[in-house]
């Protein structure tokens, strides 16, 4: 089950808005029964209803899964400086290594 923060971010993205952590325009809380939106101060966009948030469940699951895959890939790719050195020395070996990482860690279609 996708977490509420992920579904809220997708709702915002769909409506061309962002979560401004510095301004605390959105705050989530958990009362023990689950997370809920406690504060919603997004100019020009109404607080989403429960059904609107629920509609992002599948996309939220995909996003969270893909975030895990992105983190795994990033770790496996290694330091960008080392990658550039590898490209300079043997671009074909680098391409084969990156392709294997991507093939071994496929993202879900979005």
What pLDDT, in 10s, does the model give residues 57-101? 999 999 999 999 999 999 999 999 999 999 999 999 999 999 999
Phi and psi at 30, nearest 5°, equal -130, 120
Q: pTM, whole model, 2 decimals?
A: 0.79
- What does the domain layout of the chain look like in residue ranges? 4-104
What gap in Å lies between CA 66 and CA 110, rounded to an integer?
9
Does residue 110 surpass a pLDDT of 70?
no
pLDDT in tens, 28-56: 999 999 999 999 999 999 999 999 999 99
- Residue whose token pair is 């599948």: 58
């Amino acid at each position: 089950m996708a977490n509420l923060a992920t579904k809220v971010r997708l709702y915002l993205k769909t409506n061309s808005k962002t979560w401004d952590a510095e301004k605390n325009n959105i705050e989530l809380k958990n009362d023990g029964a689950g997370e809920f939106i406690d504060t919603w101060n997004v100019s020009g966009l109404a607080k989403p209803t429960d059904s609107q948030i629920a509609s992002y469940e599948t996309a939220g699951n995909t996003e969270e899964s893909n975030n895990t895959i992105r983190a795994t890939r990033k770790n496996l790719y290694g330091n960008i400086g080392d990658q550039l050195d590898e490209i300079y020395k043997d671009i074909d070996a680098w391409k084969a290594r990156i392709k294997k990482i991507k093939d071994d860690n496929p993202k879900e279609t979005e």
